[in-house]
């Protein structure tokens, strides 16, 4: 039985059910490497302050380094009834070097310790996450390039609106993910500040050079106020916020593709490898991978709410409520990482049914705006042109024809300014080509945007 770190003033043993309730080792062992690393930094800080002799500091640092090696080499290394990862490491250190190990906790508390380890862990997680987002962006670029000429109906209100290039759709999600990467980088700047040396709440009573410890641990700076340093978890909230927006972006992408794979739309074919069948209906091919991506976004959002709600009423400084921050962050990170990986696989494997998508893009008056623009170029004010084209659409729909299938006379009867060159603007290519201002879906713009995206994702 591992001794807890605080037994001195207690005469009774912890209730077994409470001990289990209080135990965080089952999840915070994930901080093992970060906490050992921070402990080495702390030992060196105590050495520089003259609090630990060189011999003691050397022995502690060496034993901690050996723990790192042993943790990956020893099966069952983490089998322990330790209260948390901090108690676990200290107990292992004392097992290894005896009395000297008992000196490590000088001038620190688990409160500054846990905040430090959590930030170290999150700094790495932020880098991993950013890389996964980049991978998904690359998959979007590949999907765009595999179907460089494909065209889809674009929607507003889920009603056919105007045609867009498939690559334009891909690049829309590319941009969302690009902002997600910048949000992660921004959160990382505030994550990478060192709380160590704040003690339990009031600061440390030993003259450690905190800046030197921070430098050794790769932090960009040190916290300015000990009460704040041990008790805020805004950095964790920011990290989860970044996860939430990624999850929301992936969920919308999933929703689009789920619709596009349905028979009703029929623009996209997913690979069998990311689809499932029905136990009853032999014909079914279901987009489960995408549905899970959409569904899991709810869970990540839940962690954001849980974390914020846990924090909102806490008095300064540390409270045990804050132990709840770990599972929220770990699960948000794990879940969003899994969603990013699956989305990349789905994108790499899908194909566009280009013929069907193109047919849909020219069915349902998606060129009505072009007809109105044609009238504007003939001198008709836009509002009047809009009204006239509305009446032409009404006429065409009543006769089950598209605008390009009407005769010039039929159109002129409603809008006399229409001329024979109208048929040039009603074609799909003309419709697309006209969206040539920056950010638009003209094939030329999209090609340039794709090149630019490739440069950005490789930076
Ligand atoms: N497991 C704790 C946490 O995650 C570590 C800090 C405990 N500190 C304390 N004073 N009880 O928050």
Exposure class string for 224-263: b at 16+ Cβ within 10 A, else e: eebeebbbbbebbbbbbbbbbbbbbbbbebbebbbebbee
> Is a pLDDT exceeding 70 seen at residue 3?
no
Rounded to 5°, angle at Cα 24 from 19 and 26: 105
- Look up residue 259 and give its two tokens: 């619709």
Range with the poorest average pLDDT among 8-12, 213-217, 417-421:
8-12
Range with the poorest average pLDDT among 38-52, 280-294, 338-352:
280-294
- CA–CA dist 115, 264 (Å, integer): 52
pLDDT for position 6: 73
Catalytic residue among 53, 65, 271, 278: 278
Helix (H, G, I), strand (E, B) or coil at 104: coil
pLDDT for position 282: 85
Range with the poorest average pLDDT among 2-16, 94-108, 188-202, 410-424:
2-16
User: Averaged over 134-162, what is the pLDDT?
Assistant: 98
213-253: per-residue pLDDT in tens?
999 999 999 999 999 999 999 999 999 999 999 999 999 99
Distance of CA 95 to the CA centre of its chain: 41
pLDDT over 70, % of the chain: 99
Average pLDDT over the chain, rounded to an integer? 96
pLDDT for position 206: 97
The residues near 121 (Cβ < 8 Å, ≥ 6 apart) are 30, 31, 33, 34
> What pLDDT band is residue 9 in, cutting at 50, 70 and 90?
confident
- Residue closest by Cα to atom 11 of ligand 1: 320
pLDDT for position 459: 86
Active-site residue flag, 279:
no
Ligand 1 and 323: CB distance under 6 A = yes
Q: Which of 35, 108, 114 for a ligand 1 pocket mutation test, highest count of atoms within 8 Å of Cβ?
A: 114
Ligand 1 and 191: CB distance under 6 A = no
> Is a pLDDT exceeding 80 seen at residue 1?
no
- CA–CA dist 25, 266 (Å, integer): 49
pLDDT for position 2: 58
pLDDT for position 322: 98
CA of 113 to the centre of ligand 1 (A): 9
pLDDT for position 111: 98
Ligand 1 and 322: CB distance under 6 A = yes
User: Averaged over 172-182, what is the pLDDT?
Assistant: 98
Active-site residue flag, 87:
no
Q: Is the dihedral of CA 336, 342, 344, 347 positive or negative?
A: negative
- Look up residue 167 and give its two tokens: 């690559």
- CA–CA dist 380, 298 (Å, integer): 49
> What pLDDT band is residue 89 in, cutting at 50, 70 and 90?
very high
**Residue 168 host element (H or E):** helix 166-191
Give the pairing of strands 159-165 and 221-222. Answer: unpaired
pLDDT for position 102: 97
pLDDT for position 71: 97
300-312: per-residue pLDDT in tens?
999 999 999 999 9
The residues near 218 (Cβ < 8 Å, ≥ 6 apart) are 123, 192
Q: Are 147 and 356 in contact (CB under 8 A)?
A: no
Range with the poorest average pLDDT among 91-100, 170-179, 257-266, 271-280:
271-280
> Is a pLDDT exceeding 80 seen at residue 5?
no
Ligand 1 and 204: CB distance under 6 A = no
Ligand 1 and 118: CB distance under 6 A = no
Selection from 50, 46, 25 nearest residue 35 by Cα:
25
In Å, the largest CA–CA distance within the chain is 100
> What pLDDT band is residue 87 in, cutting at 50, 70 and 90?
very high
pLDDT for position 142: 98
């Amino acid at each position: 039985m591992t001794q807890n770190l605080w037994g001195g003033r207690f005469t009774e043993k912890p209730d077994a059910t409470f001990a289990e309730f209080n135990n965080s080792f089952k999840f915070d062992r994930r901080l093992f490497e970060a906490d050992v690393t921070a402990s080495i930094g702390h030992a060196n800080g105590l050495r520089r302050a003259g609090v630990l002799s060189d011999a003691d500091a050397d022995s502690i640092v060496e034993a901690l380094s050996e723990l790192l090696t042993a943790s990956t080499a020893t099966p069952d290394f983490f089998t322990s009834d330790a209260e948390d990862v901090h108690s676990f490491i200290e107990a292992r250190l004392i097992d290894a070097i005896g009395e000297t190990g008992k000196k490590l906790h000088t001038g620190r508390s688990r409160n500054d310790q846990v905040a430090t380890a959590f930030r170290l862990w999150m700094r790495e997680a932020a880098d991993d996450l950013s890389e996964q987002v980049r991978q998904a962006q690359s998959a979007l670029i590949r999907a765009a390039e595999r179907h460089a000429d494909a065209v889809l109906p674009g929607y507003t209100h889920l009603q056919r609106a105007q045609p867009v290039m498939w690559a334009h759709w891909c690049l829309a999600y590319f941009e969302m993910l690009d902002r997600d990467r910048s949000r992660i980088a921004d959160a990382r700047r505030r994550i990478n500040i060192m709380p160590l040396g704040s003690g339990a709440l009031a600061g440390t009573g030993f003259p450690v050079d905190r800046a030197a410890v921070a430098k050794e641990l790769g932090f960009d700076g040190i916290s300015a106020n000990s009460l704040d340093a041990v008790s805020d978890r805004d950095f964790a909230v920011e990290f989860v916020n970044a996860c939430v927006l990624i999850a929301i972006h992936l969920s919308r992408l999933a929703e689009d593709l789920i619709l596009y794979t349905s028979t009703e739309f029929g623009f996209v074919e997913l690979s069998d490898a990311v689809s499932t069948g029905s136990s009853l209906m032999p014909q079914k091919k279901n987009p489960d991978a995408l549905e899970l991506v959409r569904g899991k976004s709810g869970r990540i959002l839940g962690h954001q709410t849980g974390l914020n709600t846990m924090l909102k009423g806490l008095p300064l400084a540390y409270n045990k409520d804050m132990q709840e921050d770990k599972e929220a962050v770990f699960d948000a990170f794990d879940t969003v990482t899994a969603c990013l990986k699956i989305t990349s696989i789905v994108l790499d494997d899908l194909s566009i049914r280009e013929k069907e998508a193109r047919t849909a893009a020219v069915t349902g008056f998606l060129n009505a705006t072009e007809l109105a623009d044609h009238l504007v170029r003939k001198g008709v004010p836009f509002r009047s042109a809009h009204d006239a084209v509305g009446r032409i659409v009404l006429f065409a729909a009543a006769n089950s024809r598209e605008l390009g299938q009407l005769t010039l006379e039929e159109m002129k009867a409603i809008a006399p300014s229409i001329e024979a060159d109208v048929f040039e603007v009603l074609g799909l290519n003309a419709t697309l080509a006209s969206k040539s201002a920056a950010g638009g879906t003209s094939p030329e713009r999209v090609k340039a945007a794709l090149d630019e995206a490739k440069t950005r994702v490789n930076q």
